[in-house]
Amino acid sequence: MTGRRSGPLRAAPVLAALAATAVLAGCAAESTGTPDRPAARSAAEPTAAAAPSVTPSRGETPGGTLLVADFGGDTVTFVDPERGAFDRVEVGTAPYGLVVGKDGRAWVATAEGVAVVDTKTRTRQALIPYRTGTGPVTTGEYRGGGMGIALAPDGRHVYVGVNVPDAHGVLEVVDTAALKVTGTADVGRRPFDVDVSPDGAEVYATGHDSFDVTSVRTDTLRTRRAEVAPYGTEGGLGSWLKPHYAVVRPSDGKLLLPFEGERLAVLDPRTGRVVVEPMTADTHQHGAALAPDGTLLVVGTGPIASDDEEASLTVRSPDGSERVVPLDGPHEDVAVSRDGRTAYVTGGFTRDGYWNGITVVDLAGEKAPVRLAAGERPLGIAVL
């Protein structure tokens, strides 16, 4: 990629070899499922070679179960957080993000449409096609179709960011009672993540390839764009230094967008003003989540420059202090247990080098991280 880090916090050039070989449309060249070479692990630990076999269990799904979107397959996998995967449900091609409502329905953004899954009975109820044309249904990092997805606080609407290859993305609004798309709004390129304001009045689509966040009014679908590029936009589509995932801070409604383990962009969506705070992990970052106490969890996917650090999970307290937990190999997204004590980090990864499992991290630091075999290139994750 051609992007470079610059500015007062640190300067680190991106490897020229990556620039010469990557497809200029996202983080890296089209993912093929070829694993990288993470640190040695025991024979009992999962690798990217094959997804674990699953014997479906009977009965209602217990609380605390993890649900992951199998980007390398057409399923979602149900995972016991201590014992691993125990059931799968077919949802559609290359599922990416997912969100679960209070009624137990999961909404899964696939390449074909939004799948609706009853997580209690573990059955697919519907597949809602997109209104936006995205071309042939394909797989891989740059496939068209749904990416980020979020649920309105009142549960009446789901908002999904639809990637349109070689064009700007679209936010589609799904009526959760009628099970159909009822509105659309233009947003940035490759909407990696979608978030909703605490009052449900606005939706925020993070445009990975356009260095921006598009705010969409939920009553009128009117939009406004805010550039979020703490390293600048040099390199355009070929830059590594783009926004990926965001979280909304409940206390003030501002969006937190981590960059490269070095900078946290804090966006006020009402004014478009961005304030940058320092971070310490020094690694390419993707998934983010907030614990109940306001702790920010950020997934570090590993190095993109010669002096970057390896994969990690940043645990950032509301006061800005950080603890960095090393991870073995690449990861993509993160969710936190309801009691705020445990983080679950998916190993699917949008780029090459994924593995089929989840790392379980004790946020108190009293136990070492544990790996679970789970899913087929799992990306999005939720706690039931």
Mean pLDDT of all residues in 106-134: 98
Q: pLDDT band for position 376 (50/70/90)?
A: very high
pLDDT digits (tens, 9 = 90+) for 51-65: 556 766 667 899 999
Report CA-CA distances (Å) from 375 to 56, 75, 80, 240.
Answer: 13, 8, 12, 27
Q: Does domain 16-29+60-383 have CATH number 2.40.110.10?
A: no
User: Cβ of 325: how many Cβ atoms within 10 Å?
Assistant: 21
Mean pLDDT of 363-369: 95
Looking at residue 53, what is its pLDDT? 66
pLDDT > 70? residue 268:
yes
Torsion of CA 230, 234, 240, 243, to 10 degrees: 40
Query: Long-range contact list for 298-302, CB < 8 A, 24+ apart?
Result: 298/258, 298/261, 298/334, 299/327, 299/331, 299/332, 299/333, 299/334, 299/345, 300/261, 300/324, 300/327, 300/331, 301/330, 301/331, 301/332, 301/349, 301/351, 302/329, 302/330, 302/353
**What is the per-residue pLDDT for 305?**
84
- Check residue 29 and give its pLDDT: 36
User: Which stretches does DSSP call E strand in 312-356?
Assistant: 312-316, 322-326, 334-336, 342-346
- Residue 45 banded pLDDT, cuts 50, 70, 90: very low
Identify the pLDDT of residue 351.
78
Question: What ranges do the domains of the chain cover?
Answer: 16-29+60-383
Give the mean pLDDT of 118-137: 97
- Read off the tokens for 123: 């059955």
- pLDDT at position 35 is 29
pLDDT at 176 exceeding the cut of 70: yes
Q: What value does the mean pLDDT take over residues 132-150? A: 96
Rg (CA), the chain: 19
Residue type at 221 in one-letter notation: L
161 vs 59 pLDDT, higher one: 161
Dump pLDDT digits (tens) for 64-104. 999 999 999 999 999 999 999 999 999 999 999 999 999 99
Is 185:157 a contact under the CB 8 Å cutoff? no
pTM assigned to the model: 0.88
Mean pLDDT of the chain: 88
**pLDDT at residue 363, rounded to an integer:** 97
Q: DSSP letters of 61-130?
A: PPTT-EEEEETTSSEEEEEETTTEEEEEEE--SS---EEE-TTSEEEEE-SSEEEEEETTTTEEEEEEE-
What is the arithmetic mean of pLDDT over 98-122? Answer: 98
In 3-state terms, what secondary structure has residue 237?
helix
Alpha-helical regions (H) of the chain:
16-21
Amino acid (one-letter) located at 98: L
pLDDT at residue 338 is higher than 50: yes
Confidence at residue 155, expressed as pLDDT on a 0 to 100 scale: 98
- Express each pLDDT in 1-31 by its tens digit: 434 344 333 333 333 333 333 333 446 433 3
